[in-house]
Copies of this chain bind each other. A is one copy, B any other.
Amino acid sequence: MSIKEMIQDHPAVGADYTEELGEAVKHAMYCAAICNSCADACSAEDMDMRRCIRLCLDCSDVCEATYRLASRRTDENRQLIRTMLATCINACEICEAECAKHDNPHCRRCAQMCRECAEDCRKALDKLNEEVHADA
């Protein structure tokens, strides 16, 4: 099952579907789940992980909202998708920087996920910005 294929089944999707936005949706969905899991795993560690728990929970919430609205194709809401992609890049970078400080496997995995998600959101944002310039 693929969220990217699902978006292409939308009755209003045509030439405006971009592979880049599909990738960002998919990875923001994963990142929401991975950060939620990392926050939980951090709270079970013996060292003080409070900052990491907090940043993972924040990043999970932002990724969740990002993928949900970026996967909608009815009418359009591009300005908000662009703003939200930028916010998601911000959230992922902050969370990645913290997780990268910790040597446990879940934080390493979460840092990698955040890095990939930020990268895909950046590509999707670049693509959307190109379209804006092309429209102008």
Contact = CB atoms under 8 A, between A and B. Distances in A.
Interface of A: 1, 3, 5-7, 9-12, 25, 27, 29-30, 33-34, 36-41, 43-45, 50-51, 53-55, 57-58, 61-62, 64-65, 67-69, 71-75, 77, 79-80, 83-84, 86-87, 90-91, 94, 104-106, 109-110, 112-113, 116
A41 B77 contact: no
A80 B54 CA distance: 12
A80 B91 contact: yes
Contacts of A83: 86-87, 90-91
Given A36-B68, A106-B6, A43 B44 contact: no
Given A1-B112, A1-B116, A44-B10, A74 B54 contact: yes
A43 B104 CA distance: 19
Taking the full assembly, how many copies of this chain does it contain? Answer: 4
Nearest to A36: B68
A87 B88 CA distance: 11
A13 to B, nearest CB: 9
B62 A1 contact: no
Contacts of A58: 68-69, 72, 77, 80
A74 B51 contact: yes
